[in-house]
Amino acid sequence: MKFVLTCGGTAGHINPAIAVAQRLREIVPECEILFIGAEGKMEMDLVPREGFEIVPLRVTNLSRGIHLADIGHNIHSLKNVIESGHEAKRILKEFRPDAVLGTGGYVCYPVLHEAAKLGIPTLVHESNAVPGLTTRMLADHVSCVLLGYEESRQHYPAAADVRVTGTPVRGKFSIYTKELAKEELGIAPDMPLVVSMWGSLGSGHMNETLVKMLPLMKNQKDFRMIHATGSYYYQDVTKKLQDAGVDTVDCNTDVREYIYDAARVLCAADLVLCRAGASTLSELSSIGKPALIVPSPNVTNHHQEKNARLVERAGGAKVLLEGEFDEASFLAEIRKLVSDSETLSAMSRSMLDLAVPDALDQIVDTVLEYARKGRTKK
């Protein structure tokens, strides 16, 4: 069997696709898997790290602005969509997959649209409570729509086959206990670990908060922190800290560009500071990690806040909005949570209750179902 997976832009789109690819390889060891990503985006780095081949398409985002520059950008993006569609068609005809799955990002549109026109079984997974533009545009073309949340079903009345599966989590999360993960990281079992991560690209606002917060943490021993700046902000953050004379070791903090060993670091965590991307929340729920969530305000229809409120209502997280705190009050909130083991334990149990343990299997089973249907028609 042959499978194409397409994803792009952020780890929240890429990691679920990698999880599916890994499980497909376990179930059908002789299968061939090809990823299609957006040229120059992070999937071109992350996917090969997991041992999968990926080919690029030239795809750019759409601007929702109304100025001449925005219009010009969108014209260029439309040209890229047309050209990438031709290239996607060529790749698909050459590779001849039995099924194609998209997990989000603009690159999914030309790949899935062309695959559907070629009569290849096509599936798209939407992990957020509110669907993105790409998923909405594809809903009437693909064979099956897979959803992370039941609340999303209402957005797809015309789709042929809609299934609520949850969002898949990479298998590596299941191999760690907190004790083993902390041991590998060199952290004492009784030292609380706070993991600060704000999306694969990073957050300017939260990085600025961290830069101002670290001087308040000098010589503190209340907790250990690992902070990921994101790829856009690492050099800026490290320079600002250096210019301010901040020694991160004295602050008991490890500043990284990206957390490549996410399974180990998150399994070791006692509290996670994060955005509300659906993939992140699925990973945290699968391992029962309490979260202090600051949803991104820079997404369409505030879908991150809606994701975050679902988790907050269930008791697994506390939600703060940008503008509701400064560096001092944010640090106070962190200290309050890490010092309250009963609250963290209750939040952990609530997070576990939100998990969909068989989400990955549901999605892989559906992909295989459609692949086999396609084969019987050949």
C-alpha 235/C-alpha 177 separation (Å) is: 33
Do 194 and 334 contact (CB within 8 A), yes or no?
yes
Residues 91 and 71 in one domain: yes
Residues 113 and 148 in one domain: yes
Residues 139 and 185 in one domain: no
C-alpha 353/C-alpha 153 separation (Å) is: 21
Measured N-to-C along each axis, helices 278-287 and 11-27 cross at an angle, to the nearest 10 degrees, of: 60
Residues 193 and 215 in one domain: yes
Q: Which among 67-81, 205-219, 363-377 has the top mean pLDDT?
A: 205-219
Residue 328 per-residue DSSP state: H
Position 79 scores a pLDDT of 66
Domain limits at 227? 172-354
pLDDT tens column, 10-58: 888 999 999 999 999 999 999 999 999 999 888 999 999 999 999 999 8
Query: Residue 194: which CATH number?
Result: 3.40.50.2000
Residues 338 and 364 in one domain: no
Residue 306, C-beta contacts closer than 8 angstroms, at least 6 positions apart:
128, 129, 130
Residues 147 and 189 in one domain: no
68 pLDDT above the threshold of 60: no
Position 62 scores a pLDDT of 56
- List beta partners, residue 126: 147
300 pLDDT above the threshold of 70: no
Mean pLDDT over the full length of the chain: 90
State mean pLDDT over 56-71: 64
More confidently predicted of 69 and 259: 259
66 pLDDT above the threshold of 60: no
Residues 132 and 263 in one domain: no
Position 76 scores a pLDDT of 53
Residues 274 and 231 in one domain: yes
**Buried b or exposed e, range 236-252, using 16+ CB within 10 angstroms:** ebbebbeeeebebeebb
Position 157 scores a pLDDT of 77
Phi-psi region at 225: left, alpha or beta (left = phi > 0; alpha = psi -120 to 50): beta
Position 250 scores a pLDDT of 95
Residues 123 and 247 in one domain: no
C-alpha 260/C-alpha 256 separation (Å) is: 10
Residues 130 and 192 in one domain: no
What's the length of the chain? 378
State mean pLDDT over 273-300: 91
Position 71 scores a pLDDT of 56
**Helix (H, G, I), strand (E, B), or coil: what is residue 213?**
helix
pLDDT tens column, 161-216: 999 999 988 767 888 999 999 999 999 999 999 999 998 778 999 999 999 999 99
C-alpha 55/C-alpha 301 separation (Å) is: 31
* Count of structural domains, the chain: 2
Residue 63 per-residue DSSP state: P
**Residue closest to 84 by CA, chosen among 63, 112, 62:** 112
Do 2 and 91 contact (CB within 8 A), yes or no?
no
**Residue closest to 59 by CA, chosen among 13, 23, 93, 28:** 13
Residues 309 and 370 in one domain: no
Residues 150 and 228 in one domain: no
